[in-house]
Structure 1
Amino acid sequence: MTNESAGRLFYVMGASGVGKDSLLSFVRQAGDPRQVAVAHRYITRPPQAAGENHIALSEAEFRARLGVGWFALHWSSHGFSYAIGREIDIWRRSGVNVVVNGSREYLPEALEAYPDLVPVLITAEPALIAGRLAARKRESKNEIAERLRARDELDALPESVIRIDNSGAIERAGSALLALVTATDGAISPKSVR
């Protein structure tokens, strides 16, 4: 996208348990929908009561939509297929900033598709992440340990990635993310928000 009036694209990443879903829900509820939109992900995973607000697709539905070009971004992780719909391009053309829940492994491809995207890493203290994952009761102890190792890999992302620490009250990190994705000053610089 080269249109200067186009909305920005914010690519939010973070290890399981850092609270991305809670922060994106905060932005959905507190943000002005004429200014910022949080994209739903299309996932080949059934909906869960306490999980991400996503659009569940069968493998066949996912492949069909992918085949006709309805996805702007797509990747696989943990045995599921994920995608962001092309509606984000329409929203951006109308001047709305868009926030997507992305994958760290897919970041290079996302940057190739959208060179102007703003990468944002959500972090949290390891003990807090382990507690959140245990409370979900979706992962075994070994899977929790693996997810904590994946968190360490995320810390190795370049300094150009904006970091927001979600170890404290959700309102603090949520307000920081909301301020970032609704900024109108034109300049976004890498920073770490605790």
Structure 2
Amino acid sequence: MACARELLIAHDNIVFARRIVTRPVQPGSDHDPQTDLQFEQALRDQAVCWHWQAHGFFYGIDSRYTQAVRDGQVVVVNASRAHVESLSPSAGFSVVEISVEPAQLALRLSQRGRDSESSQALRLARNASFSSIRADCVVDNSKALADAGRALADYLLQVFGKA
């Protein structure tokens, strides 16, 4: 996502949403941290337009991105395959599945150093449990991150880019 975001920085019509996560910021993470109580309050205040739970944390997308969509921008969200089906398909809505080979995912989780070995094992098992989702595009993230970033950027420009 970061590679695609950098490649598309000059395209004002494409916005990459920052997730709200009930996890402290750590090296390699890029989100807006909240406590569980702050997140619950954001839900009550309708400050979150979409939310889900995974890996023991709550994730959400700030409601300000709803206005960005209304204003004609494309909002790219790093979300959960387990919860993407809860969104209603609509015009201008596209699902991109980012896939990765299990061995590569295991290596990246280990190198990231954010999760315990047991948490890594749970993430790998969860990843293996997913069947294909309804995706408009599948990006293979098993090789260089820059290659996957370029593939995502190319897709977004092809479908949503402005001349």
TM range (shorter): 0.7 to 0.9
Alignment length, in residue pairs?
A: 159
What is the Cα-based RMSD across aligned positions, in Å?
Answer: 2.1
Residues 57-92 of structure 1: CA deviation (Å, up to 9, x unaligned): 122211111101111101112221110011112111
| 1:147 is aligned to 2:119 | no
Instruction: Specify whether residues 160 and 86 from structure 1 end up closer, same or farther in structure 2 by C-alpha distance, changes over 3 A only.
Output: same
Residue pair 1:27, 1:38 contacting (<8 A) in 2 also: no
- 1:72 match: secondary structure: strand
Report the Cα distance in structure 2 between the residues aligned to 1:145 and 1:59, rounded to whole angstroms: 24
- 2:119 match: secondary structure: helix
Normalising to structure 2: TM-score of the pair? 0.85
Amino acid aligned to 1:46: P
- 1:183 match: secondary structure: helix
> Which has the higher mean CA deviation after the structures are superposed, 76-85 or 142-151?
142-151
Report what 2:65 is aligned to. Answer: 88
| 1:170 is aligned to 2:145 | yes
- 1:128 match: secondary structure: helix
Match of 2:40 among 56, 63, 66: 63
Residue pair 2:96, 2:135 contacting (<8 A) in 1 also: no
**Percentage of matched positions with identical amino acids:** 31
Q: Which runs of 5+ in 2 are unaligned?
A: none
Residue pair 1:35, 1:182 contacting (<8 A) in 2 also: no
Instruction: Specify whether residues 174 and 100 from structure 1 end up closer, same or farther in structure 2 by C-alpha distance, changes over 3 A only.
Output: same
Normalising to structure 1: TM-score of the pair? 0.73
- 1:118 match: secondary structure: coil
Report what 1:49 is aligned to. Answer: 27
Higher relative contact order (CA 8 A, sep 6+): 1
Report the Cα distance in structure 2 between the residues aligned to 1:133 and 1:27, rounded to whole angstroms: 20
